Structure 1
Amino acid sequence: MATLFLIIIYLSFISLGLPDSLLGAAWPVIQADFGAPFGVAGVLSIIIAAGTIVSSLASGAVLKRLGTGQVTLISCFMTAAALLGFYFAPSIIWLMVLALPLGLGAGSVDAALNNYVATHYKAHHMSWLHCFWGVGATLGPIIMSGFIREHDLWRDGYLTVAVIQFALVVVLFITLPLWKRMEKVQSHAVKEGQGPQDKLYDAGSTEQPMRMKGVKITLMTFLFYCGAEATVGLWGSSFLVNAKDLSAAVAAQWVSMYYGGITVGRFITGFVTLKVSNRVLIRSGLLIALAGALLLILPLPTFYSLIGFMLIGFGFAPIYPCMLHATPERFGKEQTQKLMGYQMAVAYTGTTLLPPLLGWIAAQTTITILPFFVAIYIAVMLFGSERVNRIMKLRSLRSETASTNHSINA
């Protein structure tokens, strides 16, 4: 039963990744079909991100009321319905309307499953969970390209992904009692002290999450991580074409190696977490990604740029899942539902704001600034991560001292 349950969770995260890359793959055809301005794709992306941020912020209260199983079911139904709406949409205005429930559904399921896995499973499951997101994000453009390659049938691409999403909705509906049963079993295990987390915070703490020391720095790290990941993905090809004189086709292939580095890296990280702590993996990943950015900055032969992109992707691989999984350990299980929603909201804010910021600055200057900005983002993340580690260490020492004093007085 436990294995079946994990398969359902992983499938749900594949479904989260599937729609994420569809718009970019289909936009050249959608734009021509509707005669829309090129920049409308950015508007659609912002609407999706806005819905995601709103649902992420509300996820703590919604999860407490409905539970992970129902939230995942409702969210997947919303995304499936929105994707089906894209198939029927008669105009760009309708795509804008449908982009909102698409974002709302994505944010809810993202926060719900991240919270559930961080609370009830070991770190390697979080890494593999996000590896499956990469599988979905990779399959989306493959499915779409199959329909638009010859006949520009972008609607059929959306219909196919919608059917896959609806199939998952059926699976989630049938297995809803399993979610409830597993939640009861695993909640009981955590109460009995058998859960996967060693908490530095008292599980019964009622302190406001934003007042807890280290939370704001952690949120800043999430913002810069997701902003950096999206920035490299969006502007990597442009950097290679304009700064390294590669063809667009070769540049696209090289950037795909960046995503490959993230996906493969997260698969490998799942095994490494069995022996290495989240803290060490986050630090190592940031240093590897920084080395990749430096390879792009230095005046080296063009081939080193490919190595640089691969290193950035491989370095980024453990950071996001390990930071998410560390949430209960850092701030206590009782605060994880709210904090997971806050982290998702800030992460999507970084994804929404930082890539356009670099694009605007590059338009005024040159795209060669890309690796410099990425290196700065990574340095900020490294500073924030190490600062939180120091806070956690001091808190642990105070807790041990208080426990020792209590034993002596007793």
Structure 2
Amino acid sequence: MATLFLIIIYLAFISLGLPDSLLGVAWPLIRPELGAPLAAAGYLSMTVAGGTIVSSLASGFVIHRFGTGKVTLVSCMLTACALLGFSFSTSVLWLALLAVPLGLGAGAVDAGLNNYVASHYKAHHMSWLHCFWGIGATLGPIIMSRYILSEHSWRSGYLAVAWIQFALVALLFLTLPLWKRTGHEAAGSPGPAAAEQPVQEAGDGSRHFVKSGVVKPLQIKGVKLTLLTFLLYCGVETTMGLWGSSFLVNVKGVDVAVAAQWVSLYFSGITAGRLITGFITLKVKSRILIRAGQLTALTGAVLLLLPLPLYCSLAGFILVGLGCAPIFPCLLHETPARFGKDHSQRIMGYQMAMAYTGTTLLPPLLGLMATRTPLGMGIFPYLVTLYAVAMMFSSEKINSLLKTRFAGDR
């Protein structure tokens, strides 16, 4: 039963990933048809992320009140209905209104399932969980590009993804009793009662005590820097997904359909990387994987920045995707080990909220700057590189703090 339950969680993450890359891929066609300004895509993305922040912050109460199964079912239904509405929208205003349920549908599921997997499964399951998100995020632009090529229609692409979402809703409805049984078993499991947790081994090799009931989560060393790392990571990932197609079309002169396929390769890099990372975590510590991923993503961003042949830009997209692969799931899985299980649920909520804050604020910043600077969309690789460098700096600072705490505990 535990295996079947894990498979259902994986499928739920496909539904989270499917809509994430659609807007950026379809925007070069949506914008002229609806007469929207270039920066409107950033505002729509910000609306989706804002709804996700609200629902993720409320996820603890909602899941406790209604159960994970029902929340997942209703959230996927919200997403499916919003995507269906997108396919019939006649103005940017309708897209903005539908972006609210699209965002609300993701947050509670994301925060709840991430904490469940981090607390109850090994690191490779977290990587594979987000690999399934990548499957959804990869399928999105592939589906959209096919409809753009065959029908020159972004609406049909949204409609197709909506029906896939409704199929997942039907599956979740049929398996709802399994969620209830598993939820009761989880609710009956005892939690830690000790005032001070045992020494814990973090992914960076350090060990430390986390005193429960004494230190507030935000007062724990490294938490604030971790939140900053999540903010910047989502700045890299979402900016690439939202504006990558526009950069290729407007700056590199790539055809819209081809640009959509290139963006799908970026998400394919994330997906394949997380599948591989799941196996590597059995032998390699998360700290090393996080650092390797950041270096790889930075290399890809530099390839986009330099005046190199077009195929180097394709390599840049793939490298950024591969680099992003281990960062997010490894950081999430390290939460209970680094900061203690007593604090992990609240810190996980903070992390998800900060991640969606990065998704909300940083991509629209690029759209705003692109409309007000001479570089236009040419500013894309500069900002991606800046986010990647800042993310790596904050992450390495966390490693330094944890080593200092380990030395102090001895």
CA offset at residue 208 of structure 1? Answer: 2.8
Aligned residue in 2 for 1:13: 13
Q: How far apart, in 1, do the equivalents of 2:32 and 2:69 lie?
A: 40
Aligned residue in 2 for 1:404: none
Q: How far apart, in 1, do the equivalents of 2:390 and 2:192 lie?
A: 37
SS where residue 276 of structure 1 aligns? coil
Q: Please say if 1:371 is aligned against 2:378.
A: no
Aligned residue in 2 for 1:74: 74
Alpha carbons of 1:172 and 1:397: their partners in 2 closer, same or farther (altered >3 Å)? farther
Aligned residue in 2 for 1:265: 273
Aligned residue in 1 for 2:404: 394
Q: Please say if 1:328 is aligned against 2:336.
A: yes
TM-score by length of 1: 0.83
- C-alpha distance after superposition, 1:120-152 (max 9, x if no partner): 111111111111111112222333455555556
CA contact (8 A) 1:201 1:329 kept: no
Structure 1 residues without counterparts, runs of 5 or longer: 402-410
CA contact (8 A) 1:203 1:333 kept: no
CA offset at residue 350 of structure 1? Answer: 1.4
Q: How far apart, in 1, do the equivalents of 2:29 and 2:303 lie?
A: 35
- Alignment-mate amino acid for residue 225 of structure 2: I
Aligned pairs (5 A) from 1:308-327: 308-327=316-335
Q: How far apart, in 2, do the equivalents of 1:250 and 1:145 lie?
A: 8
SS where residue 18 of structure 2 aligns? helix
Q: How far apart, in 2, do the equivalents of 1:167 and 1:368 lie?
A: 40
CA contact (8 A) 1:260 1:313 kept: yes
CA contact (8 A) 1:286 1:382 kept: yes
Range 223-232 or range 29-38, more displaced: 29-38
Aligned residue in 1 for 2:117: 117
Range 53-62 or range 365-374, more displaced: 365-374
Aligned pairs (5 A) from 1:39-188: 40-86=40-86, 92-147=92-147, 149-151=149-151, 157-183=157-183, 185=185, 188=189
Q: How far apart, in 2, do the equivalents of 1:207 and 1:43 lie?
A: 38
Aligned residue in 1 for 2:282: 274
Q: How far apart, in 1, do the equivalents of 2:345 and 2:178 lie?
A: 21
- C-alpha distance after superposition, 1:227-270 (max 9, x if no partner): 01222333444555666565666555444433222121111111
Alpha carbons of 1:149 and 1:235: their partners in 2 closer, same or farther (altered >3 Å)? closer
CA contact (8 A) 1:59 1:338 kept: no
Q: Please say if 1:361 is aligned against 2:369.
A: yes
Q: How far apart, in 2, do the equivalents of 1:282 and 1:335 lie?
A: 22
Structure showing greater radius of gyration is 1
Alpha carbons of 1:95 and 1:242: their partners in 2 closer, same or farther (altered >3 Å)? closer
> How many pairs are equivalent?
397
- Alignment-mate amino acid for residue 399 of structure 2: N
- C-alpha distance after superposition, 1:301-346 (max 9, x if no partner): 5443333332222111110111111111112223222222222222
Aligned pairs (5 A) from 1:16-27: 16-27=16-27
Q: Please say if 1:231 is aligned against 2:239.
A: yes
- Alignment-mate amino acid for residue 371 of structure 1: P
TM-score by length of 2: 0.83
